[in-house]
Structure 1
């Protein structure tokens, strides 16, 4: 009864607030932070779990494969349950961090009666080879059974050497069919079919080694083979003619011959439909080709609050990559002055650390955010980067936009600096950060491959800092065009498209770099500040010279631009002020010899003294008025020189 309750909770809550890549027709159990523990720990079945992120391109691409895999293992559910967790859902972040899920998709096998997160075994095989994946899981289940001997599981033991067909028939009872698989250990094909048909009243699966008498009677070669018998009939109704390589080959033949006679009802799984992780903005732009401050802020926020603290501890190479990236952001991050001061302070803090925990990182980000008036939002909103679905575009679009804006800003600042090194100062920090911190592991690996292919190490000129990234991005768009990650409403294409810059193309329809690069530079320099939601009417601040400003004409205020004032100078001035405020010379001393008077007490002293002075002034004024009146009365009535 408790198990049924857990399953109901899993299906009702597991997909309740996230944009799932899986739907109600998939034989997959989707869990969240609330249902994971009750479903996994202490369970009388094993769980094969995919930790994924609904926006991750690799996860989107892998979902059809995992669905097919789950469908093949649908009858395995009483022994091994195929399960998923969406780490893009904010509420699941602590769960994914606890299990050290540093990249997606990540596959884990949780054994029978798992007790803690440490019982989850990471699967490092080829996840796209679903035949081998099934074989490997069968091997894990067999090892699990050997160690724990679960009562509700098959024994996974082969027939004894002395067993004959007659002996096996006698043990069948009323079961009408017998399948015998011939395979030496590790008997993964036999184990897979044993799990698949366990509990089926119409068929029993047994297996023997290749030297067993039953194997020797029917086969002369040493390959994996299978036999199908009708109970009591020593002549097989089917015998494999060639060695078997896939467990599904046996199942398909059995289903073909006696499928209608041994049909068993598959376990019913009815997960609920999902709601979006991140809602699309209420007033999305029709034009995706704009650099919006809203998108930059959201990309920065997601990066700081979600991507970086995915792992419980950051050390060694990942920490070195984080330090490099923070230093790059400190110098070249776009946005308002408070946004740049945020990265300045984060850089100063992280450079002194040898290890950073997720909790320390989040606490530091929060502290700096609060001290600067929260320049970055906690709620993620996409504007020009909004996709047609919540899991399309979004963060990846925002991250690309941020990177392009940084390269353009770096060129603005450093184009006359002969000491500027584009690779060391900008491009390599970005590549290393992507490699270690982009949760889409395949995306991160592909970007490193593309960096090598496009000869990152040969970039030396200042202007190539933004030109190189632009070329690589176009290469990525070309490779991913038409893939499952491609938003049908915002197709991946070469940038800039002809509709945006017709002059950027030559007569042959190819991009003319000489004309395209100036356009790219101008495009990523033009950061717009359109509101993410429709404003109620218009405001006074929208007027300029008697005319309202259209949304497309709003740009980042010049006083907030990068060169509006050096952030390091602002921070230095604030440090000096803080030092002076903390100086003993600025503490109050009272006349009776008390060394320090708290700030609150000083306010009370101010109030008291000002009140006394005010009362004295009122008394003096009243006396003055009274005396003045008395003088004139005396002068008027007693003086002989009346007018």
Structure 2
């Protein structure tokens, strides 16, 4: 900022350039102003990544006029200080009401942009920011209704949006907007004992409450649920439903049963979250999804060892197989990964012992490159060392998807690193003498390098690297590392919510949900906020060793014995999708020769898998066979040398002792 003071003519003249410098001075000023204006033009307050609709002179009228939904627009200027300060609130508002878009949408238009000068003048925009409401189905080319209130807090503006919607008539009511007026008591009572194809939630509230209307709008995109509201002033209805305090939610189930919902905090966020999590209630999908058939879902309050071991199996036996030889940065990344997992993984003894043996083997080898086959032989315990075992059976439990193409391995990889960050926080001495001691970034840097080097989804690796470059260096403690990974996982969930990779049975919501940790959630000025102190406590408990269930873990550990010929083994390729999320199939050109893809059918499902073919060798690896051949050749050469040596020596002895007869 440049502060200008009043001054007399003589004083001001002292600051003017001399005539020979005037042209140069004006040129510099013009260049400076041009640069400042250019920065103002390029420094947009809103981007395509924000949850607002960015409009311009080309799109404003055709988007807003005669729209099927209502609109709330902010006309702003990118150089306006108040607009800059208010932009986080506007973005938060747009994100908070993103599920309302069938009824009302939030947009912005930058009047500081040169091509928008005329449209802002036409709409009579004189001050910034200016808020304008536009009704749905308005074909009168009306320039909207301006909000003149001084209170521009998020909750106030959100409630004004509700009021604006209710000011619509039946003729211009937004197409996708459900009724917001209170339902009649007789309509509510008629649902008693009635079987339907969907849930019906009735919010009972006071006359001045906005919770019911906001929850109705929150649940608009969700199928399988109808939300209504009624007022607490009807005492007979309150008595019939058994409601003694408001706001409350009364839920009618499809099978005809009905009950009061037990919600820890009587706030809009908690009501909406619980209703969104009802079985079978989900937003519409962009495409149909093939069901697995198995629907006996296990509780999400536990972490399952079967998921962790299935993830390690896929990582070590399938994903790593696309790299025939590990050397340089790849080998270092793999060694770091094995180090962190071997020291922190809270698994079964047979798996931990295998990881520790793999670590000792990697550390003891002075080689600059290691063939993948040698790693696979150790993982498969070809040496028949007692107590080493990692199941080749894939069994998703907490990571099971509703389709073979959903969740699975990416879910297990997230879970694995969440567990490792918590273990690093709970066991500070576990990484002693590894080179990672006293490093709060040990697990996260290992995850970062592994995903960038080995993870099959290249785009996912790029996104994770961008998140790491953005804020990873700000972490100073292991507790901050636990929270960082949680924030970034939620960030990925928010980005992929509603995408084709989302499982309709398990929508990508912000986690933990209130049913898992209600103390993690709070509301401030009508907006949901996280209580990160409670989130950290929850994460440390949820991903602790004591909360990992052994249910469904494979117990078919083979007995140690003499090496036996290899038999064909099918390694089932786990499900994968994109939240670390793309297709993770190894390329045909990169799969080792002893592996080939095949379709494995069973139990009415078709799985994509990798089959290991039988090879000769009586249990020996290719490295063992190569050493045998080398030793055999050396022995042959040595025997030939000894044969010719003794034969030559014998001839010399005969010549020296020869006595010719005279």
Q: TM-score range by the shorter chain?
A: 0.3 to 0.5
Report the TM-score, using the length of structure 2 for normalisation.
Answer: 0.36
Q: Which has the higher contact order (CA 8 A, sep 6+)?
A: 1
Report the TM-score, using the length of structure 1 for normalisation.
Answer: 0.38
